[in-house]
Structure 1
Amino acid sequence: MLAAGGTAALAIGLVGVTQLAFAATVFSANFEDGTTNAWSKSGGTWTVVTDGTKAVQQSNGSSENSRLFAGDTGWTTYTVQARVKPLSLGSGGFVGLLARAKSSTSFYRLALMPGNVVQLQAVNSGAVTVLASKSQTVSTGTWYTLSLTANGSTISGSVNGSSVGSGSSSVSASGRIGLQTAYSSGNFDDVTVDSSTTTPPPTSPTPTRTASPTPTPTRTSPPPTTTPPSSNWPTKTGDVSVSGTINVSGTLDGGLKRYCCIGDGSQSESQDPMFDLADGATLKNVIIGSPAGDGVHCEGRCTIQNVWWEDVGEDAATFLATNGDSYVIGGGAMNADDKVFQHNGSGTVHISGFYAKSIGKLYRGCGNCTKSYERHVTVDNVILDSPKYVVGININWGDTATLSRITLINGSKTHICAEYNGVAKGSEPPYLGDGMGDGHCNFSSSDITYK
């Protein structure tokens, strides 16, 4: 991976190269495919450019808060490393690397700042605590290798193999990685995540090879869909009679059989689900007939792949996990009076390659559940025919929606990203309006195609 950076990467120091060569690398990105599909965007203008090799660039130097996130919210002990080149550094701004991002405003950050300063920071709902600081030449147009390690409550950072310092913090026990700028612009490349627990060694001209500890188990993120969703309903291969909830642990591959039926087809939330997925379970290649009760329940992280709902009753699927990422990949749904996907827990729901027709909302973060959470959704490469809304989120709880490649048929009046204030159970969340590019609703008009 670092070889793609050419001589610029090698000039930074052999330590970073050797560490990554023999460590347990669980994630890497060098952007040579020309896309940021594996990342979710929050603010700014992010594009892949050529800077010797391919790199991702945030070019809007006036943007207050620009972020790209990747990885798994369940990651705990790891080192994230990246090459970072500030292109501009505005007053009060920075270009930085993030670890353990549990939300868009809570994480650990190693920041290159104006005035030749590097800071190691804990950011809690936007409030910054400086854990360590170092005087360091910070020049625009120069590549730096930033390394940020989270090991228990100890957070440490280095620039070009030289320690910035460390500190103790309980802001976040787990979370994704991120790239960030504020009132600045910059390029980022050769991002890697090492799941070992060893703090990066000090600079040495002759690095010593050591055995890597067993990596922390991670959940592999499915790749983004590339082909457009199909609007052609699949032909069933058989029928399965359902008399009660089917509990799934591991993987249930239905082979495109039609599972039917349960419940009364109403909007009652007291109905049992047809499928109940345990944490880490996968449901795939299933046609769900009508009535389908309360659809699919994900008790933890789950993957729903190539599942088709003939008629959505209450909800097609409800996500209940209190952490981590869940995925809807391919498939489709018809006739949802209200929501297709309901998000009651926390974490992030990723929806890609999906087709839906005659629906209320594709996704809604619960606005009046018993427990309030910060929730996130990414929607990419979907076709929606006659929807009323694409997504609905609660901005007072820090929700975000990242949208790309959205095709709307008969959607001239569709609300793309509806913003609400979440409320206590028993009340109705007030609708505030539609957002775009405001840090909560992260998309631009070019991400939406009308047909």
Structure 2
Amino acid sequence: MEAQPRRRRWPIVAGGVAAFTAVAAAAAQLAFAATLFSDNFEDGDTGGWSKSGGTWAVVSDGSKVLSQSSSGSENAREFAGDAGWTNYTVSARVKPASIGSGGHAALLARASSSTTFYRLALLSGSVQLQAVNSGSVTVLGQVSRTVSTGTWYTLSLSVSGSTIAGSVDGTSVGSATNSSVAKGRIGVQTVYAAAAFDDVTVSDTAGPTPTTTGPGSTASPTKSPTPTPTPTPTGTGGGGSTPTGAWPTSTGSVTVSGTISVSGTLDGGLKRYCCIGDGGQSESQDPMFELADGATLKNVIIGSPAGDGVHCLGRCTIQNVWWEDVGEDAATFLGTSGGDSYVIGGGARSATDKVFQHNGNGTVHISDFYASGIGKLYRGCGNCTNHYERHVVVDNVLLVSTKYVVGINTNWGDTATLTRVVVQSSSGIHICAEYTGVAKGSEPKYLGDGQGDGHCNFSASDITYK
């Protein structure tokens, strides 16, 4: 139902100039409040939302509402918005139809994955403000309250820096400091409950109104700053142009007799570095390059055999690097302190298994990259000794004769975001394969290919087949 505008009447008080100044200041603050996203579902569909579990539909309940009707669903979610959103307030009306034992209906903010977010939850006898990190719940605030089925409640959840606050029907549930989730989308959720949701609104009072980007939504709130990679030299790729598969010409050669440790930046000037290892699939081989936290490797052609390729011990940038024959893995990301690593430009040939292996945590960004004759472009480890939530962002890549674009583990909260992916001569390719991660020594179970489910985030238009 469309919300009707409220008429606000300012009281006349003594001290006209002071009163006028106060009113003008308040009005100025209101003028900068921006509605960044809103959906009242009156269009009858869930365009802009991605489902993960449950039975969701837009139904009539006085007005059109989003309903999750399966009260036995263990974890039903719908997500919307931008993964880069940071500081905002999300509000919604929520009407539980049933709440089972241990169940709730909730509003989510900063959902960085399907199992990591902040949550304001209606339980049967209370309302809780929670931080959820890979499924582990920390209660940040709580008020005792009878939550009745068939009754609408207005939930409001604010995230600003490390301050997290929630309210129900205007009454504070709590405000706390928590830094477990820095950014993420909005969402609605039921756990062993059925509920209806309506009038979902995201607002940002920190800046001007953004430009509209689509029906029912607008541009993202302020995003966290992203580390700026070193620009690639002109003509060497990795500057955002569409990959063509053209291989660079070596400017010289470097003989490698053992692992090269890099801290800071190593610019190879497009020399060919060779060789190490036996070209086989053994992961016990030494890497050719080992990058310290924050290091950059750029403008290098890696000859064959390349051993275990490149090891990133923390956050790293791999820019305009070319693997003649991958052998085992082109690069393995091992950092466990979170953060972002970047592969920008470059290319790889002949990876029987994976090009990029993600054993640590954090997010790997792959852009402007070319690969040919590979098994997988990216795989989040499904049976490493330590289990993490991992994320990959793939943009503007050309993949020839490829079996899989990415493989992720849904039970650990992994996500993949794919845009501008071109696949060529890749019959039967798996775009986003979902697995159940397992303990070391076991083999991950393939669940199927996902799309728009909160784990595999892309649409059909993001993939081009040639």
TM class, shorter-length = 0.5 to 0.7
Cα deviation, residue 425, structure 1: 1.5
Residue in structure 2 matching 1:178, options 176, 184, 187: 184
How do 1:69-108 and structure 2 match up within 5 A?
Answer: 70=83, 80-82=86-88, 97-98=109-110, 103-108=113-118
Letter in 1 for 2:165: G
How do 1:135-214 and structure 2 match up within 5 A?
Answer: 146-150=158-162, 155-157=163-165, 164=172, 166-168=174-176, 173-182=179-188, 183-184=197-198, 186=200, 188=202
Look up the match of 1:394.
409
Specify whether residues 219 and 255 from structure 1 end up closer, same or farther in structure 2 by C-alpha distance, changes over 3 A only. same
* Structure 2: gaps (5+ residues): 1-23, 38-47, 53-63, 69-76, 97-103, 146-151, 189-196, 208-223, 232-237
Look up the match of 2:356.
341
Residue in structure 2 matching 1:123, options 121, 124, 132: 132
Counterpart CA distance in 2 for 1:296 and 1:424 is 25
231-240 vs 292-301, which deviates more? Answer: 231-240
Counterpart CA distance in 1 for 2:137 and 2:166 is 22
Specify whether residues 259 and 173 from structure 1 end up closer, same or farther in structure 2 by C-alpha distance, changes over 3 A only. same
Cα deviation, residue 304, structure 1: 1.0
Look up the match of 1:228.
242
Counterpart CA distance in 2 for 1:164 and 1:13 is 25
Specify whether residues 167 and 188 from structure 1 end up closer, same or farther in structure 2 by C-alpha distance, changes over 3 A only. closer
Given the alignment of the two structures, is residue 270 of structure 1 paired with residue 284 of structure 2, yes or no? yes
Counterpart CA distance in 2 for 1:61 and 1:221 is 40
Look up the match of 2:340.
325
SS of the residue aligned with 2:184? strand
Counterpart CA distance in 2 for 1:394 and 1:235 is 38
Cα deviation, residue 15, structure 1: 6.6
Letter in 2 for 1:411: S
Counterpart CA distance in 2 for 1:369 and 1:296 is 18
* TM-score, length-scaled by structure 2: 0.66
Residue in structure 2 matching 1:255, options 249, 258, 269: 269
Look up the match of 2:20.
none
Counterpart CA distance in 2 for 1:81 and 1:356 is 37
Look up the match of 2:400.
385
SS of the residue aligned with 2:87? strand
Render the CA deviation track for 1:126-162: whole Å, top value 9, x for unaligned: 8584625799x9999xxx9955341xxxx44389xx9
Letter in 1 for 2:186: Q
Counterpart CA distance in 2 for 1:188 and 1:351 is 30
* TM-score, length-scaled by structure 1: 0.68
Contact kept? 2:36, 2:201, Cα under 8 Å: no
Counterpart CA distance in 2 for 1:331 and 1:253 is 14
Cα deviation, residue 321, structure 1: 0.8
Cα deviation, residue 301, structure 1: 0.8
Cα deviation, residue 366, structure 1: 1.0
SS of the residue aligned with 2:461? helix
Look up the match of 1:423.
438
How do 1:300-379 and structure 2 match up within 5 A?
Answer: 300-322=314-336, 323-379=338-394
Look up the match of 1:214.
none
Contact kept? 1:95, 1:185, Cα under 8 Å: no
Contact kept? 2:128, 2:139, Cα under 8 Å: no
Cα deviation, residue 259, structure 1: 1.2
Counterpart CA distance in 2 for 1:439 and 1:145 is 20
Look up the match of 2:296.
282
Letter in 1 for 2:348: A
Specify whether residues 71 and 361 from structure 1 end up closer, same or farther in structure 2 by C-alpha distance, changes over 3 A only. same
Specify whether residues 373 and 84 from structure 1 end up closer, same or farther in structure 2 by C-alpha distance, changes over 3 A only. closer
Render the CA deviation track for 1:389-415: whole Å, top value 9, x for unaligned: 111112222222222221110123101
365-374 vs 272-281, which deviates more? Answer: 365-374
Render the CA deviation track for 1:362-394: whole Å, top value 9, x for unaligned: 011111111122211121221111101111112
Counterpart CA distance in 2 for 1:395 and 1:189 is 30
Cα deviation, residue 254, structure 1: 1.5
Cα deviation, residue 357, structure 1: 0.6
Cα deviation, residue 243, structure 1: 1.2
Look up the match of 2:311.
297
Counterpart CA distance in 2 for 1:420 and 1:248 is 34
SS of the residue aligned with 2:411? helix
SS of the residue aligned with 1:446? helix
Specify whether residues 420 and 81 from structure 1 end up closer, same or farther in structure 2 by C-alpha distance, changes over 3 A only. closer
Residue in structure 1 matching 2:448, options 419, 422, 433: 433
Cα deviation, residue 426, structure 1: 1.7
Look up the match of 1:444.
459
Letter in 2 for 1:269: E
Cα deviation, residue 283, structure 1: 1.1
Specify whether residues 104 and 16 from structure 1 end up closer, same or farther in structure 2 by C-alpha distance, changes over 3 A only. farther
Contact kept? 1:146, 1:158, Cα under 8 Å: yes
Counterpart CA distance in 1 for 2:65 and 2:136 is 20
368-377 vs 307-316, which deviates more? Answer: 368-377
Contact kept? 2:127, 2:173, Cα under 8 Å: no
Look up the match of 1:204.
none
RMSD: 4.2
SS of the residue aligned with 1:176? coil
Contact kept? 2:109, 2:157, Cα under 8 Å: no
* Structure 1: gaps (5+ residues): 1-9, 21-28, 32-40, 46-58, 73-79, 194-216
Residue in structure 2 matching 1:412, options 427, 441, 450: 427
SS of the residue aligned with 1:256? strand
Cα deviation, residue 416, structure 1: 1.2
Counterpart CA distance in 2 for 1:241 and 1:126 is 49
